[in-house]
Structure 1
Amino acid sequence: MNYKHLILTAGLAVSSVCAFSQDNLVNSLKDNKTATRKEKFKFTEVINLENTSIKNQGSSGTCWSYSTNSFLESEMIKAGKKPVNLAELYTARCAYIEKGKNYVRMHGAVSLGDGGELHDVINMYRKYGAMPLEQYTGLNYGTTTNKFGELGAMMEGMLKATVQNPNGKLTPNWLTAYTSAIDSYLGQVPESFEYQGKKYTPQTFAQQVVGLNPDDYVEFSSFTDHPYYKKFTLLVPDNWSFDQVYNLQLDDVTNCIDNALKNGYTVAWATDVSEKSFSWVNGVAFVPETPYELMTSEDKKTMFDGPKPEMVITPEVREKAFDDYTTTDDHGMHIVGLAKDQNGKEYYIVKNSWGPSNDYKGYLYVTKAFVRYKTTAFLLNKKALPADILKKTGI
């Protein structure tokens, strides 16, 4: 996710998969917070699946890692295991190594940055295993929260210098130098570590403690210009690994999410959060019936003053938003439940990684229309899929 948002405020830090400027996002949040709106929405939980504590990704573009590791923690709970707080920056560190290799092999013709995709977490789990947060915090240079500006600039500078090939022939040393630079910021990965009195490597920890099968997880999106129920390459900048996802019809998106939640499975979710109708502070996201730019000043002021009518989201409306860059691949979060407002409209309960500083202590309520409109991808356990989707995709 090539995120547009970067914020660092007391108790809240948001970033690029998360590349608006810091000031732009702060101002955006202030625009939406004209007054406290929590009392205007009356939410009743329908499903609220167990999940681990709210985390804070700090000033880093690692929402993809936080959201999908949170998803894996809930998968442990679903499997009857005691969840582990997984080391999000161990996953990110491994992905940055692989992204660097890919960048050099492609002679620099792919995106850089610290963003990524939901499937990156599964791919790194499969190849590199996992670590508990207590053994790999990624805070290796005196900060108490992630702060990746210098690290990102260092990675970009080294990789660009490498592909310029100043020696006329690439040496193998660039990878050692690049890896060492990342490890100097995030910390070296130990060959083994102790967890609850036993010794593990990242691979044995993934196998014996986390105990999840990476082959159980599948990713989906919805586009009109690809065959339905077939795989296609997700063409967003941060899909640096060129992974493929299954293409669903639009109604299938919410049907799959609903089926998962009703059967006790959570969902990792990639989306656009740049809309004025997405308010982190108020903890609500919806699609207003009248586009923001056509609203009166009074409508803008009262946008979160209780439930509002929404635009009807069709495949054509959704596709147009992708094509004109209204929808971009901004952010990764974790869908953990379902709720209804005072009018009976359904909202997904969404866990974020920006700390607990909004009206709902780190969670949001997101309408189904917003999910239909703004989802770039979602990932879930194949056991959570409806039978007809399994049959149509051949999963």
Structure 2
Amino acid sequence: MSLPFTPVKNQGNESLCWAYAMLATIETEHICRGDSVNLSPYYIKRLVGKQRQRGMGHSLLRLMANKGIVPFDTYPDSTHDQLPLPQWVFMLGARYTPQEFAHSVCGPEEYMAVTSDPTQPYGKRIVADYPDNWERETFLNVPQDSLVAIVLRALHHRHPVCWEGDISNSGFSFRSGIADHTTSSRPDDDHCMTIIGLARHPNGRLFFKMKNSWGTDNPYGGMVYMSQEYLRCCTVALYLTREAYLGK
């Protein structure tokens, strides 16, 4: 199964996977509700600049809440970087500020963050100790075995999930479009993608369909198929709506 999604984008040499993946999650969430939206990562890039491009999913949510967001068509590429930032968003005959538009596509506290740290108490909110969590955001700590179940529950109720995890191991290959790794180790906060579907290998193994942000030059048009073993071992964090977490 696959949830609908906007066209695959390409972050190029920017360290903004967290922005691309979280925006893609919000986009698919809205499409599944019958409300098509395509958001501009270049607007976020302009806000962030070159000083601090590292971040996590919550970094994008905080930027949207404070600085707003615009549709992709309003700021479609980096050639707009020499122009003033858009002051207005025009949508369905109405005029919004970027902040008002952001609030219309992502409400406060709509999304929650989940992690798995066996050294910390489960069921509690903890500060995930990763370099990209420079904002010291807290996450709901769950057992590692719960990660796959959380994603499956969300997908079965037609909700995407923003995934952050480790792709530095040999099991990940964008060129082949496969992430399959079963060695357990403490993951690093290395990359973000959006989980938008499921696929089953002829041998019966389950894989998650991941929307990446490195363009479309691989066998699956820019998608990566990640085994549930890889997801279980290499996940740093999951971002999903509270409804998705509860299976609604």
> Structure 2-normalised TM-score?
0.92
Deviates more, 1:239-248 or 1:127-136: 127-136
Structure 2 unaligned regions, length at least 5: none
- RMSD (Å), alpha carbons: 2.2
Flag structure 1 segments of 5+ consecutive residues without an equivalent: 1-46, 101-111, 142-184, 288-309, 312-316, 391-395
**1:348 maps to 2:205:** no
Aligned 8 A contact 2:16 2:54 in 1: yes
CA distance, structure 2, for counterparts of residue 79 and residue 196 of structure 1: 17
In structure 2, relative to structure 1, the CA distance for the partners of 1:113 and 1:129 (3 Å cut) is closer
Q: In the alignment, residue 194 of structure 1 is paired with which amino acid?
A: F
Instruction: In structure 1, give the amino acid aligned to 2:245.
Output: L
1:104-183 mapped onto 2 (5 Å cutoff): 113-137=52-76, 139-140=78-79
2:42 is matched with 89
Aligned-pair CA distance for 1:276: 1.3
Match of residue 260, structure 1, among 143, 154, 167: 154
**1:380 correspondence with 2:240:** yes
Q: Distance in 2 between matches of 1:207 and 1:62?
A: 21
The structure with the greater share of residues assigned to strand is: 2
CA distance in 1, matches of 2:45, 2:82: 10
Q: Which residue of 1 aligns with 2:222?
A: 362
Is the counterpart of residue 191 in structure 1 residue 130 in structure 2? no
State the alpha-carbon separation in 2 of the partners of residues 278 and 195 from structure 1: 40
Task: Determine the C-alpha separation between the residues in 2 that align with 1:55 and 1:234.
Answer: 28
Which residue in the other structure is 1:330 paired with? 190
Alignment correspondent of 2:169: 275
Give the C-alpha shift of residue 79 in structure 1: 2.3
Q: Is the 8 A contact 1:73 1:86 kept in 2?
A: yes
Contact persistence 1:93–1:186 (CA under 8 A): no
- Structure 2: distance between partners of 1:85 and 1:193: 13
Deviation at 1:87, TM superposition (A): 1.0
Describe the SS at the equivalent of 1:115: coil
Match of residue 305 from structure 1: none
Would the aligned equivalents of 1:89 and 1:186 in 2 still touch at CA under 8 Å?
Answer: no
- Distance in 2 between residues matched to 1:120 and 1:386, nearest whole Å: 23
- The corresponding residue for 1:24 is none
Letter in 1 for 2:23: N
Instruction: Specify the SS of the correspondent of 1:60.
Output: coil
State whether residues 89 and 101 of structure 2, in contact with CA within 8 Å, keep that contact through their aligned partners in structure 1.
no
Q: Which amino acid counterpart does residue 89 of structure 1 have in structure 2?
A: Y
Q: Does residue 235 in structure 1 map to residue 189 in structure 2?
A: no
Matches within 5 A, 1:280-299: 280-287=174-181
Alpha-carbon displacement from aligned partner over 1:155-194 (angstroms, at most 9, x marks no partner): xxxxxxxxxxxxxxxxxxxxxxxxxxxxxx5753232243
Quote how far apart the aligned CAs of 1:126 are: 1.9
1:53 maps to: 7
Aligned sequence identity (%) = 31
In terms of fraction of residues, the more helix-rich structure is: 1
Distance 1:241 1:204 in 2: 24
Shift of residue 283, structure 1, vs aligned partner = 0.5
Larger radius of gyration: 1
